[in-house]
Amino acid sequence: MTAVRSQLDPFLVGAVAKRLVSTLNEQQATLVNTAFSTIVRESLDLACGVFDTRGEMVAQSASGTPGHINAMATGVHHFLARFPAEQLAPGDVLITNDPWMTTGQLHDITIATPVFRAERLVALFASTCHAADIGGRGLSGEAREVYEEGLLIPPMKLVRAGAVNEDLVELIRGNVRTPDETIGDVYAQAAANATGARSLLSLLDELHLDGIDEIGAEIIDRSERAMREAIAALPDGVHTAEVSNDGFDEPVTLRVTITIDGDDVRLDFDGSSGQSQFGINNVLNYTRAYASFALKAAVAPDVPHNAGSFRPVEIVAPEGSILNCRPPAAVASRHLIGHMLPSLVFAALAPVLPERLLAGSADSLWATLWRGVDAGGDSFAQTLFHAGGVGARAMKDGLSTVGFPTGVGAVATEVVEALTPLLNRSRTLRTDSAGPGWWRGGLGQVVEMECRGQRSWNLSALVDRTRFPAQGAAGGLLGAPGELTLDGDWLPTKRLVALDRHACVTVRTPGGGGWGDPLLRDPARVLADVVDGYVSLLQARKVYGVAIDYVGAADARVRLPQDYVVDQAETARLRGDEGSLG
């Protein structure tokens, strides 16, 4: 890069950069506080951003979910292509959920608000939120075309110069199952954008600025330089990795070739499976979101997200592949594939950055959609998320039951049971599910679910890694694959399953992969894992090569650390280093 050193006051640039982030936090606070769908509020499935007049993203809110990163930014470019500055007026609010223009799924609605100062466009605020419902089949993998998945809203004006487009609102209301929530969230997004806009205008007043274009460009350029420096610090080379997962009807292969060349990096997903007949396809925007999330987390976590930090990164996938699907492909459950990308990118980069990455994780967020009728005859629908294990790190065990790469969290059992007739029989850590290693992966969980309704109920489980478990790294072993069963029999995934009213469904989420050779794990750590039941005596012996005897009372309920002892001689034999005993 040959950028001339800027003449702008670095303190002013720093002050504006921080203030813009603070402005986005105000926007996000308003959105979280006023949104309706649980997914937005409790799970933070959202993103907020501020853009200059060319539609370049200057800053993005700190939390939110990676799937919306720069996918929303592309959406703003599409808005400006459809409505150039001269066609925008104060009081306008724009809307779209076109999957190919934004985040790859009809449920995600993007709202953008142009900000004017003295009749001149100075910026845009945008937010993307996951709607409670968008009509069609609902969240499912079963659609064959996007038309079955709900209502598509092309880039349009939701509000024209302060006047709400009532026809559009009625059209949306008439096409979704939850009109109040879906429209309520749209209004919450518009209100949040307005909060951001107000704060930006007072920033401009206080700092005596005409707009953010000049300083925004400086922030973007500095971010690009920082990203380039981080990339240039890596050795040049070409790295590939491949992972497989369940897919819908047949396994899907994802393949990446990462080329590091000076201060540029190219991620090419050539060699990945072709687009699916079912709703698990990714638009290129969504592929780019998760691939660039992984790259940035690996290479430059401290560089802020904006148009500049993505300039040195080229992400391509063959058109018509599952990572760059053509319309009208079905896309509603695209996260099942998109969430696999960070672990894939890490696997490819492992030779370059061995200390900074994760082993493979459970990856796809396990989402289960439960529907039925309660005892009073009212229908209910509840989406639950169950996290699996995250991959081990080079110096730490992986995290248990935490979403990765998603930032989405779980809903409390008591809240679920207060809202629905669902009865959660258990929610516990899954013994032996962590991929063994010098550092082990995170554990998955076991959830048992019943329903107290009087009639049959049904389940649609958007889950993966039931056949292809999380990979280990540096000699670490696989995590346990996930399982979805009814009385011990496997249930089909990614499609609607009718359940008997006495059914008890068991969900076992996958564990994270291990890092390094399990035979090198400190026996004291293996012992501690056995005491706490994360690892069984059997796995300790067979996989970790640590022989542990339980010496407490056979019928004891309370089993303390002193009730277990490591058999040193047997351990040495199992680990093949008897010689060291001399």
Partner 1 sequence: MTRPTTTGSPAAAAQAGSRGYRIGVDIGGTFTDLTLADEHGVVAIGKVLTTPDEPARAIGEVIGEVLARTSVPAADVEGVVHGTTLVTNAIIERKGAVTALLTTAGFRDVVEMGTERRYELYDLMIELPKPLVPRHLRLEVRERMLADGTVERALDEDEVAAIARELEARGVEALGIAFLHSYANPQHERAAAAVVAQAAPKLRVGLSSDVAPEIREYERASTTLANVYVQDRVARYLSDLEERIDGLGVTGSLFVMLSNGGIATVETAKRRPIGLLESGPAAGALAAAAIGGDQGHADLLSFDMGGTTAKLCMIEDGRPLISTGFEVDRVYRLKAGSGLPIKTPVVDMIEIGVGGGSIARIDALGLLKVGPDSAGSQPGPVCYGQGGVEPTVTDADLVLGYLNPGYFLGGAMMLDVEAAREAIRERIAEPLGVSVEQAAWGIHRAVNEDMANAARVHAVERGREPSLLPLYAFGGAGPVHAAGVARAADVRHVVAPTGAGVLSSAGFLTAPLTFDFVRSHAAKVADLDRATVDGIFAELEARGGELLVGSGVAPEDVVHERSAEMRYLGQGFEIRVPVPDADDDWPSSLLRAFEDAYLRLYGRQGPPVPVEVLNWRLVSSGPRPGLSLRLKPDAGVADRGAKGERPAYFGEWVDTPVYARYGLRPGDTAEGPAIVEERESTLIVPPDAAFTVADNLSLVVDLKPSLA
d(CA 11, CA 4): 18
Residues between 304 and 343 that touch partner 1 (CB under 8 A) = 304
DSSP 350-418: TTT-TTT-B-----S-EEEEEEEE-TTS-EEEEEEEE--PPPPBSSSPPPSS--SS----PPPHHHHHH
Residues between 502 and 561 that touch partner 1 (CB under 8 A) = 531-534, 556-561
d(CA 110, CA 293): 20
Nearer to partner 1, 148 or 214 (CB): 214
Nearer to partner 1, 417 or 517 (CB): 417
Smallest separation (angstroms) from partner 1 to the CB of 211: 16
Residues between 446 and 485 that touch partner 1 (CB under 8 A) = 448, 452
In 81-186, the DSSP E strands lie at 93-96, 108-117, 120-130, 156-160, 163-164
The answer to whether residue 52 forms part of the interface with partner 1 (CB under 8 A) is: no
> H-helix or E-strand containing 313?
strand 313-316
Residues between 268 and 307 that touch partner 1 (CB under 8 A) = 293, 296-298, 300-304
Whole-angstrom CA distances from 368 to 104, 133, 148, 385 are 20, 15, 20, 6
Smallest separation (angstroms) from partner 1 to the CB of 321: 26
d(CA 20, CA 17): 5
The answer to whether residue 15 forms part of the interface with partner 1 (CB under 8 A) is: yes
Nearer to partner 1, 423 or 572 (CB): 423
Tell which residue, 252, 266, 321, 338, has the closest CA to residue 295: 266
Point out which span in 38-46, 133-141, 156-164, 469-477 binds partner 1 (CB under 8 A).
Answer: 38-46
Tell which residue, 273, 119, 117, has the closest CA to residue 198: 117
The answer to whether residue 344 forms part of the interface with partner 1 (CB under 8 A) is: no
Helix/strand number for the chain, H first, E second: 14, 22
Nearer to partner 1, 191 or 496 (CB): 191
Tell me the Cα Rg of the chain: 25
The answer to whether residue 393 forms part of the interface with partner 1 (CB under 8 A) is: yes
Nearer to partner 1, 175 or 413 (CB): 413
Residues between 561 and 580 that touch partner 1 (CB under 8 A) = 561
Smallest separation (angstroms) from partner 1 to the CB of 472: 16
Smallest separation (angstroms) from partner 1 to the CB of 553: 9
If phi over 0 gives left and psi between -120 and 50 gives alpha, with beta otherwise, what is residue 136? left
Quote the DSSP letter at residue 137.
T
Dihedral sign for Cα atoms in the order 460, 466, 467, 473: positive
> DSSP 3-state assignment of 338?
helix
Smallest separation (angstroms) from partner 1 to the CB of 399: 6
Instruction: Tell which one of 1, 22, 498, 577 touches partner 1 (CB under 8 A).
Output: 22
The answer to whether residue 206 forms part of the interface with partner 1 (CB under 8 A) is: yes
The answer to whether residue 71 forms part of the interface with partner 1 (CB under 8 A) is: no
Smallest separation (angstroms) from partner 1 to the CB of 351: 17
The answer to whether residue 426 forms part of the interface with partner 1 (CB under 8 A) is: yes
d(CA 188, CA 275): 35
Nearer to partner 1, 251 or 351 (CB): 351
Q: How many CB atoms lie within 10 A of CB 326?
A: 12
Nearer to partner 1, 225 or 494 (CB): 225
> DSSP 3-state assignment of 114?
strand
Smallest separation (angstroms) from partner 1 to the CB of 425: 6
Enter the tokens of residue 116. Answer: 């004017």
Strand partners, 548: 566
Smallest separation (angstroms) from partner 1 to the CB of 165: 17
Smallest separation (angstroms) from partner 1 to the CB of 172: 13
DSSP 247-292: -SSS-EEEEEEEEEETTEEEEE-TTPPBPPSSS----HHHHHHHHH
Residues between 119 and 138 that touch partner 1 (CB under 8 A) = none
Smallest separation (angstroms) from partner 1 to the CB of 31: 10
Site pattern 209..248 for partner 1 (x: CB under 8 A): ----------x--xx-xx--xx------------------
Instruction: Tell which one of 191, 474, 486, 537 touches partner 1 (CB under 8 A).
Output: 191
Nearer to partner 1, 112 or 298 (CB): 298
